[in-house]
Amino acid sequence: MLTRQQAYLQKHRLEEEDSESPSKRTKGFKVAANNEPSENTNDGISPTQSDGRKYPCDMCDKSFDKSKKLSGHKTDVHAMRANINIDENRSVVVYREDLLFKCPPCHRTYKSKSGIGKHLKASLVCADKLQDWDHHSVNPSLSILPSAAQTPPIWRNYQEALLWASGQMESSQEEKTKVLIVSDKLGQFPIGFSTDGKEENAIISQQVYARLPDGPFLAVVNKSTSKPGIGLQWELKEQCLSCHPPLLPTIEQAIGKIPLAKLVGTRSFQELGKKTCKKLNLDWTRHPQAPQVASHLLSGAIMINAKTLCGIMINEVEVYCRERTADCHREHSGLIKGTPRDSSMPRTTGEDLYKGVRPVTIPAEMNSKRLVIGTLTCDILVTGCIGFGNGSPPSVSVGGSTVVIEIAKNDTSNWRIFLDNERVKQARKIAKKSIIKTTRDMGIWQLRQLRSKFHLLDTYDFSRFSGPLTATPLLRPCTIFTVANFGNISGARYAAAEMFNKIGKAIICRGKNAVVEREDVSRWLEECSLSREWVVPFQTILNLFKTEDSIGIIGNSDLNKQLEIIAELLMSKINDANKIIVAEIEKLILS
């Protein structure tokens, strides 16, 4: 026997679909909407049913041998509204009352749309009167609907819709739990409807809920003026509270009262679901564009702790493959003093909130910590974010070490992830394109921040991406390939920054055929003449040229050794540049 919530989930096909379609979070309808067909054109009948099977009507006892006949039957017999074409120039609208279509002028009733249609076409007197009738059972103005209706950015989920309809969203946890338990006992289901893009909710019975079509549908809403009846008297045992699962907060609850709400208010979001989880777990061999899909999905996302309501808005991410053959900078595994390394790999024991996706903080070098969103095929490093919650003002983190939030191993299941709807659409398009088309317009700012293995081609992967609110060069976290755009334009640090900038651009333009020119190295060496620690690696690079005017970058391990030394020396300049970016982002969120 299915529980009521299981029946609710089954009705919405949440076992097969996900929350990418906000309309499937709660059964909803628009007060006014386009006359577009819904995705389920057969009213719940699968188009893959084999011939010879019966198509039963879920509103009566009849069944049909074809889905088209069933659809016609529902339109004729069960539709609540009928548009009758009297002739080429005239049409009237009639509504069903007490399961019957009633002709207002003559008071005759008919069971089907075809019946009332035949009557009005035969009785032109009734048709003429009906066109001018002033006392329809439904106000005629309600039948004049706008051509489009706004829908909310996210439909509330099951629990949220019930609580909103009950007026308990601001109540205590205990009162909310009582409402959910009582609704469960009474067999009540929530529906959502949109008025000018704002969602409202109502509670209906299971029988009424079963008769409603899935997904958004056109409806006429009548606001009842009758007084509510006497409330139900009931008792609740204390043990019910302890076994009930914790309620999940809405995104509005988490960020509605902090300065960050002004920025987020211009965007719309959807919770990470099964389809987007699959996109984050694409195989990199079969889908070369997988890192770009993942970086687009999570850049601009919001993560919220369901218990504490703390969270972060992700400003930038970098994606790393888990396979050594695909990415030389993969997340390392193995043993440290006999103990397995900390990893972002999702658990297979069902403890994570999302299948195949696990956000967690793992230790890094120099006692720092990295915030990583791990999947089965890759790990996504958060390189820029804004933290909020606990009544504190928003705090900014820029760089590979995240200081504004920490997600413990045993706390990962409490974190909900909301994706920016615009980025979800972009990721879908990218998933359908070739890797050449996907990366055609990507520039040096999308190379990852790395300090080693510059002689390997997969070091230069376009898998870094900024969120929509920090997509300008002034707000992007700095990397070794972009640090030349910050600070002084002379001295050893600038020479090193310019060198990596040129190397990155050379790889983008020429790939494995990219080279470093002797003339450039000589100029950079002159800039370093006052500092021996910079002179030595640059002089060593210059000695690699021998008689050539240029040397290759990819496959050149001797060049790589010196580049790694210079990269370490350059880290102080990168840290100084990121402090400027932190100040600019703080200015943005506080302005």
Residues 433 and 555 in one domain: no
The answer to the question of residue 331 being in a domain is yes
Which tokens is 390 given? 């606990």
Boundary residue ending a domain (466, 495, 512):
466
Which tokens is 418 given? 């909301």
The answer to the question of residue 323 being in a domain is yes
Residue 370's CB is within 10 A of a number of other CB atoms, namely 21
What local confidence, expressed as pLDDT, does residue 19 receive?
43
Which DSSP string corresponds to 281-333?
A: T--TTT-TTHHHHHHHHHTT-EEEETTT--EEEEEEEEEEES-TTT-TTPPP-
Over residues 34-65, the pLDDT tens digits come to: 344 444 444 443 444 444 557 787 777 788 88
What local confidence, expressed as pLDDT, does residue 27 receive?
52
Over residues 547-574, the pLDDT tens digits come to: 899 999 999 999 999 999 999 999 999 9
Which tokens is 45 given? 């009948």
What local confidence, expressed as pLDDT, does residue 130 receive?
65
Residues 338 and 370 in one domain: yes
Residues 491 and 450 in one domain: no
The answer to the question of residue 12 being in a domain is no
Residues 323 and 430 in one domain: yes
The H-or-E segment that residue 64 falls in is strand 63-64
Boundary residue ending a domain (444, 466, 488):
466
> What range defines the domain where residue 529 resides?
478-590
Residues 421 and 486 in one domain: no
Q: Find out whether 480 and 570 touch, Cβ atoms under 8 Å.
A: yes
Nearest-angstrom CA–CA distance, 177 and 188 = 15
The answer to the question of residue 426 being in a domain is yes
What local confidence, expressed as pLDDT, does residue 250 receive?
62
Residues 504 and 436 in one domain: no
Residues 515 and 421 in one domain: no
Which tokens is 22 given? 């906000």
What local confidence, expressed as pLDDT, does residue 509 receive?
92
- Report the number of distinct structural domains present in the chain: 2
Residues 311 and 435 in one domain: yes
Residues 427 and 557 in one domain: no
Which DSSP string corresponds to 197-250?
A: TEEEEEEEEHHHHHHSPSS--B-------SPP-PPPP----HHHHHHSPPPPPP
Q: Find out whether 314 and 467 touch, Cβ atoms under 8 Å.
A: yes
The answer to the question of residue 175 being in a domain is no
The answer to the question of residue 148 being in a domain is no
What local confidence, expressed as pLDDT, does residue 294 receive?
95
Residues 295 and 440 in one domain: yes
What local confidence, expressed as pLDDT, does residue 215 receive?
62
Which tokens is 219 given? 């409806």
Residues 404 and 350 in one domain: yes
The answer to the question of residue 54 being in a domain is no
What local confidence, expressed as pLDDT, does residue 367 receive?
76
Alpha carbon of residue 460 to chain centroid? 27
What local confidence, expressed as pLDDT, does residue 507 receive?
94
Boundary residue ending a domain (398, 432, 466):
466
The answer to the question of residue 322 being in a domain is yes
What local confidence, expressed as pLDDT, does residue 150 receive?
60
Question: pLDDT below 50 — which residues of the chain?
Answer: 1-25, 29-51, 133-148, 225-239, 241
Residues 439 and 571 in one domain: no
What local confidence, expressed as pLDDT, does residue 229 receive?
41
What local confidence, expressed as pLDDT, does residue 216 receive?
64
The H-or-E segment that residue 91 falls in is strand 91-97
